[in-house]
Amino acid sequence: MNDMSEAASLPSLRIVRLARREDLPALLKLAALAGPGMTSFKPDQAALEARLERITATLDDRAPTAEQGYLFVMEDAATGTIAGVCGIEAAVGLEQPFYTYRKDTIVHASRELNVWSRMLTLSLSNDLTGYSELCSLLLDPAWRGHGNGALLSKARFLFMAQFPERFGPHVCAELRGFFDDNGQSPFWQSLGQHFFKIDFDQADYLTSIGKKSFVAELMPKYPIYVDFLSPQAQAAIGVTHRDTLPARRLLEQEGLRSGAHVDIFDSGPVLEARVADLRAARDSRYLSVNVAADDATAPPIANAEPYLVACLGLSGFRATLVTGRPERRAFTLSPVAAKALGVKQGDRVQVLPLKPPRADVM
């Protein structure tokens, strides 16, 4: 996809901003689109109301670290239509356990028989306690393309780069695991269902509403030998759901990588990074705004590329995707883009190329 040409051809801008209470009806509609495996964004009105209240408490510094979280929406700047959502949890595992399976290797050897074997195991883990977590990424299918998915996912990194003190030193993202054509998880069928005696959706729902005690009570206490699982389950470990592959590529562009951990239910990969190593933390520039005289008559900029641009501010954070190029210490915005971001001539904005150098075209 050519993000630059398609984004430039859209009749209006899309803005990513923090969610507000009045967004609740739109959030409920979006949540209804979420499929199995997305535990952090369900069509539950009470849960969404509590989450919106948690944003307010977080911004007001009233929430303890364990309860701090941010939810962003992407809206059409002209119509106000909300087309997507994404979130960040400040620190996971401090109030409710954050479980993953850690992939380990055990070597068995017999000197007498001159035989040795290397066995992959899965161990229940709390290793990622205290990590910040990227979560709840969901884009209305009608809004796919035109750089919308990239804007929605990557705007969070601009926010983290502006306010690193609000997050842990490390960040992670759980990705949906492999499901077959019948909507079943081979990993769950081979392992989880034998311990929980409930179906995947019920286990998924219980964790989404914070009821995680059953995991510690029922999950195996000792390492699981992967060779004991079905071939289909073994092949699914660490595999990303096909619908989530575009989201994974976007996260990898920003510096996250698959590590030693997978989801305990569907064995989806967990990507990890140091916050200081994120591309937005390393490469963001803070430039003065130059507002063009007129949207229609603004001259084209030579060698223009798609850029993420965000205003500076906590509760008023807003980010968008525009086509342009930094010139000296300034970045030119159309009047429409400047208005959407809430900035004026001479204000400072955060600027980051949509893609890292030499990244594959998405």
Q: Which two tokens stand for residue 147?
A: 């750089």
In degrees to the nearest 10, what's the CA dihedral of 109, 111, 113, 119?
10
Return the HEC string of 107-150.
EEEECCCCEEEEEEEEEEECCCCCCEEEEEEEECHHHCCCCHHH
Phi and psi angles of residue 295, each rounded to the nearest 5 degrees, phi first: -60, -40
Catalytic residues: 241
- Burial class for 96, CB neighbours closer than 10 Å (0-12, 13-18, 19+): middle
1 three-class SS:
coil
166, 89 contact by CB (below 8 A): no
- Which amino acid is residue 172, in one-letter code? C
Alpha-carbon distance of 67 to 50, in angstroms, equals 11
> Which residues lie below 8 Å from residue 7, measured CB to CB, with a gap of 6+?
146, 147, 306, 321, 322, 323
- Residues 5/22, Cβ–Cβ less than 8 Å: no
Whether the Cβ atoms of residue 89 and residue 171 lie closer than 8 Å to each other: no
